[in-house]
Structure 1
Amino acid sequence: MTHTVRTRGIRRRRPNYDDSSSSWLVTYSDAITLLLAFFVMILSVSDLNQGKIESLKEGLAEVISSERPSTPFTDIKQGLDDYVEQHGLQNQVSVTLDPKGISVEFANVALYDSGSADLKPESTPLLQELSRVIRDVSNGAHMIEVEGHTDDLPIHNEKFPSNWELSAARATGIVKYLLDSGIEKERLKASGYADSRPKEDIAELPLKEQREANRRVVVSVRRY
């Protein structure tokens, strides 16, 4: 005689999503999953760009945490701001964050004598700190461009026929210093603008002070 044994299945209790204390977690997790799937799809059909990926990560972190995340650019700014404050260089160096990255502006007197493209010996510690911060914090996804600017007073001598050559030589000098400090040459760019790009926020200053402000070198760290 054969006996049929019925095994009662174990019922799993379905989660109660009507519980007001936890239902929002389901919606939140679904939204995050959809976001991740969307970005994976975008990355899979596009060329990988480390700078864009970095920007995307920072944007997501800011949206999720509602706070500005720490980035290589904020770290560079913090390091240089600390150095500038410790050495009383506020009138010679300014560090500015912008949507593209960070700009470090050096007054001409911080680096060069008038009419010269030879770095002043006293500028070495400042440039060492600039190189160290960029090298330690920045990465291969960042381009470093050095701009040389002059005032509108013409120069003409055997070494520099015009301000174009002077501004280019000054920018090139900084690039060479960064290169010797261990920053990859593929990331470096030097540009000389002479007096073609005066500062826009100094129109109210006396002419002498405008010219002093326009004599500058700007080092910009940007994403590719």
Structure 2
Amino acid sequence: MSSNPTRASWIDIAIRRKAEEEERQRRERTKTVRRNRYERWHVPETLDREPDNWLMTYLDLITLLLALFVVMLALTRIGPGPGAKPPQVAAGVSLAKLPPGPVEPWAADLPRIPEEWSRLPDPPPAPVATAPAEPLEPPAAPIKMPTAAELGLADLGKSVDVQINRQTVSFRISNELLFTSGQATLSKEGGPLIKKLADVINRSKYPVSVEGHSDNVPILTRQFASNWDLSTSRATSVLRELVHDGVDGQRLRAVGYADTKPLESNDTQAGRAANRRVELIMRIMPDKNAPD
């Protein structure tokens, strides 16, 4: 009966030893794995670091240079400042009695200029080159205004108000002779009148501007939204009729001014009637196409 406990204790001891041996082997394996992993990712420092002795030599050199600069600065003679007084000559010393210094060899060998040369007259001044004067452009020929006979104004009668100015000839026609109220189509009476104007215009080669004007009474219809539309349409109708009657279209242009250029006050009926008009402005220009 006493042998059973002894055998059990030996078995326990063996189990513990085996467990301890296994734990020791496990620790050894763990150390080996860690050491291999460290050696794999860490390269040993095989190169020796250079000594820092050069740094001390560099500092010594800088110190010596600094000391040299300080000594040179102390030995340098600094000139007097702007407020300093000039040095005083010692009493009893005369500058006139000082012996002349030695003449430099190069100064003694220089040739002397004869005195006669100093009395020679001054040389004459050099001629100044001047560019030839450019010929002046001839003045523009005066504009010769055509006469009433040359324009054939007698054929227009009293239906057209003709104004001859300095550089323009204006043919002013009342809208009542050309258009019905609120319309931009030429009336039966307006066509023959434009035909007479076309004959007058074709006697020259000057450009003509057809200008439409109105009063200040607003207009709003399906055809015209404002007086600008109405005045421009009337000027365009006159221009088309002139081209139809043989006037070169390159000489013509149409423009509408609405009520921006009144002749009379729009406060009266007569003034508004005078402002409703079409004007043909012939611009006289001095060109080769103008009549002599």
Task: Classify the secondary structure of the residue corresponding to 2:170.
Answer: strand
Map residues 63-212 of structure 1 onto 2, 5 A cutoff. Answer: 71=146, 75-76=150-151, 79-80=152-153, 82-85=154-157, 90=158, 92-135=159-202, 137-139=203-205, 142-199=206-263, 202-203=264-265, 207-212=268-273
Paired with 1:101 and 1:221, the residues of 2 have a C-alpha distance of 5
What is the aligned length?
151
Compute the displacement of 1:121 (Å).
1.0
| Structure-2 separation of matches of 1:83 and 1:223 | 21
Paired residue secondary structure (2:212): strand
Equivalent AA in structure 1 for residue 166 of structure 2: P
Q: TM-score, normalised by structure 2?
A: 0.47
- Indicate if the aligned counterparts of 1:147 and 1:193 stay in contact, CA closer than 8 A: yes
1: CA distance, partners of 2:188 / 2:250: 27
Q: Give the TM-score of the pair, scaled to structure 1.
A: 0.61
Q: CA deviation at 1:180?
A: 1.6
1:220 aligns with 2:256: no
**Structure 2: segments with no counterpart, 5+ residues:** 1-134, 286-292
Instruction: Name the structure, 1 or 2, with higher relative contact order (CA <8 Å, separation 6+).
Output: 1
Query: Larger radius of gyration, structure 1 or 2?
Result: 2
**How many Å apart are 1:93 and its aligned residue?**
2.0
Q: Alpha carbons of 1:57 and 1:146: their partners in 2 closer, same or farther (altered >3 Å)?
A: closer
More strand, by proportion: 1
SS of aligned partner of 2:189? helix
Q: Which runs of 5+ in 1 are unaligned?
A: 1-37, 44-51, 59-69
Residue by residue, what CA displacement relative to the aligned partner does 1:91-145 show, whole Å, maximum 9, x if unpaired? x42011001120000011110011000000112221111101111x111xx1100
Amino acid in the other structure paired with 1:222: R
Q: Deviations over 1:138-164 (max 9, x none)?
A: 11xx11000000010000011000000
* Change over 3 Å in CA distance of 1:161–1:57 after alignment to 2: closer
What is the distance in 1 between the residues matched to 2:279 and 2:268? 21
Tell whether the 8 Å contact from 2:228 to 2:257 is kept in structure 1 after alignment.
yes
Moved over 4 A (4+): none
What is the deviation of 1:72?
Answer: 6.3
